[in-house]
Amino acid sequence: MNEARAQTQSLKKCHICKQHLPVADFYADKSRRSGTASKCKTCSREYLRTYMSGSDKWKKSHREKERRFRDRHKERSAIYTAVHKAKLLKASCERCERSDVRLVGHHPDYSKPLEVITLCGICHAAAHKELRNVTA
């Protein structure tokens, strides 16, 4: 009985191909209760291959994400350099004046990487919420 239970626990059913496969044939996925993806590696690869090869929508969104990443990386690099040269260092949040919390740099305009407002986490979240409401 225990041997049969151990064997079923080491197998998992792929929701695409419906095969019972060893857990090692599934990618890790921390967001799922089982700790593994619901598709086996073979089905996952096939899905990605067909989705990425034929989807102009994916290509366009991927290019846009890459561009945003490059822009933000440049900004973060410039800020890191400026902070360590003591040009941007602020001792407290510019909205609520708290200094006992972790402070972050907020960009009102990403095209101006050195124009940064120093905010605490709560004020930073509120600033992004305001930006979302303005653009929506």
pLDDT tens for each residue of 1-37: 445 444 446 899 999 999 999 999 999 999 999 899 9
Residue 71 in tokens: 């822009």
Residue 40, beta-bridge partner list: 26
Mean pLDDT of 100-106: 84
CATH of 2-51, one of 3.40.1350, 3.40.50, 3.90.1690, 3.30.60: 3.30.60
Q: What is the pLDDT of residue 86?
A: 58
Sorted by where each begins, the domain ranges of the chain are 2-51, 64-135
The pTM of the full predicted model, rounded to 2 decimals, is 0.39
pLDDT tens for each residue of 51-96: 777 667 777 777 888 877 777 777 777 777 766 655 555 778 888 8
Pairing of strands 26-28, 20-22: unpaired
B/e letters for 25-51, b = 16+ CB within 10 Å, e = fewer, are ebeeeeeeeeebbbbbeebbeeeeeee
- Host H or E run for residue 42: helix 41-54
